[in-house]
Amino acid sequence: MKFETDYIEKLAKIITDNGLTEISLEDGEQAITIRKDLPEVSYAAAPVAVAAPQATPAPAAQSAVSVEAKEPEVKGKAITSPMVGTFYASPSPDASPFVEVGSNVEVGDVVCIIEAMKLMNEIKSEQAGKIVQICVKNGDPIEFGQVLMYVE
């Protein structure tokens, strides 16, 4: 089975519609990675973590879509995603969320879960304070480094 062109185009649309820069999928022994071309940005003193490349037998398609999104200015410290995955606000679908806007958190409190490769990863606050904004919705696909919420 090969990845169909229709399927690849739908994946590219998902990237565009959700502000993602990359999506990777595996189906048995096939794999596909779709990346959006972004303008080159220079960060003078910012360290960069680079993941080891993976062999992908399926050709990678690229989306040349340019998306500009302005986020409102928010005071506080950002809690960012340490991985690519799916955001979950609560431990189960029928449970109440770990935090809501206005919730007070302490260092080490679980604020959400990110599912990555069928593993549930608890994301903990690195700062005590009040949640002032939650930037993603339950079930949203998220990227490495994406802001999940702000703590003030």
- Residue 5 phi, psi (nearest 5): -60, -40
The stretch 28-51 carries a mean pLDDT of: 60
Judge if pTM exceeds 0.85: no
Quote the CA–CA distance of 68 and 39 in Å, as a whole number: 11
User: Residue 69 above 70 pLDDT?
Assistant: no
Task: Provide the 10 A C-beta neighbour count for residue 50.
Answer: 5
Quote the CA–CA distance of 16 and 81 in Å, as a whole number: 19
List the chain domain ranges: 1-38+56-69, 77-151
The residue type of 28 is G
User: Residue 54 above 70 pLDDT?
Assistant: no
User: Residue 151 above 80 pLDDT?
Assistant: yes
First to last CA, the chain: 50
Judged by DSSP in three states, 100 sits in coil
CATH number of 77-151, picked from 2.170.190.11, 2.60.34.10, 3.90.45.10, 2.40.50.100? 2.40.50.100
* pLDDT single digits (tens) 80-113: 999 999 999 999 889 999 999 999 999 999 999 9
